[in-house]
Amino acid sequence: MKVKNCPQCGSLFIDVGFRVCERCLKYENEQFEIVKEYLQKNAGVTVEQISEATGVSRQLILQFIKAGRLSGSITKLAGPQVRCERCDKPILEGRICAQCQSELTEKLRTSSKKDDNDKIPSKVRFLKRRKEEHERGI
Ligand SMILES: [Zn+2]
Ligand SMILES: [Zn+2]
């Protein structure tokens, strides 16, 4: 069993593939619902406006956008609120822009032809998938 420090509150927790501890996860989900609800009623807003109106920290809202969790409400935003981590181009959601994404995919495809998933035990693969689904808000 692997234990790690929660980057949010610093407490120790058992690493089952989530980024933060259970308590912080619950907190983040509550904050996420607040942001989602606000976006359902308001359109053309910036991250600053959402943060001011809901009290949810700017950093956390950006995190939701980068994780792609606000996909359904992304058109409610007043344009791109985040930047591509690779080329700094303004983007609507995610960490990198579509162009960088395809460039990276291409690079990955040409550099390693082997399927890395084959080397990962199925349990780890399952947890990884659960984590990805969670980050996407499924
Ligand atoms: Zn925590
Ligand atoms: Zn880019």
Please give the Cα distance from 72 to 68 (Å, whole number). Answer: 9
Q: What is the pLDDT of residues 27-74, one digit of tens each?
A: 999 999 999 999 999 999 999 999 999 999 999 999 999 999 999 898
What is the mean predicted confidence (pLDDT) over 18-31?
94
CA nearest to 123, candidates 4, 17, 39: 17
> What is the whole-number distance in angstroms between the Cα of residue 138 and the centre of ligand 2?
26
**Residue 26 Cα to ligand 1 middle (Å):** 9
Distance 104 CA to ligand 2 centre (A): 10
Whose tokens are 């998938």? That residue is 129
Task: For residue 138, name the pLDDT band (cuts at 50, 70, 90).
Answer: low
Of 16, 102, 28, which is closest to residue 66 (Cα–Cα)? 28
- Judge contact between 117 and 126, C-beta under 8 A: no
The fraction of the chain above a pLDDT of 90, given in percent, is 72
Query: Per the confidence metrics, is the pTM higher than 0.75?
Result: no
Task: Considering every ligand atom shown, identify the ligand nearest to the alpha carbon of residue 24 and give its number.
Answer: 1
Ligand 1 centroid to Cα of residue 51, in Å, is 21
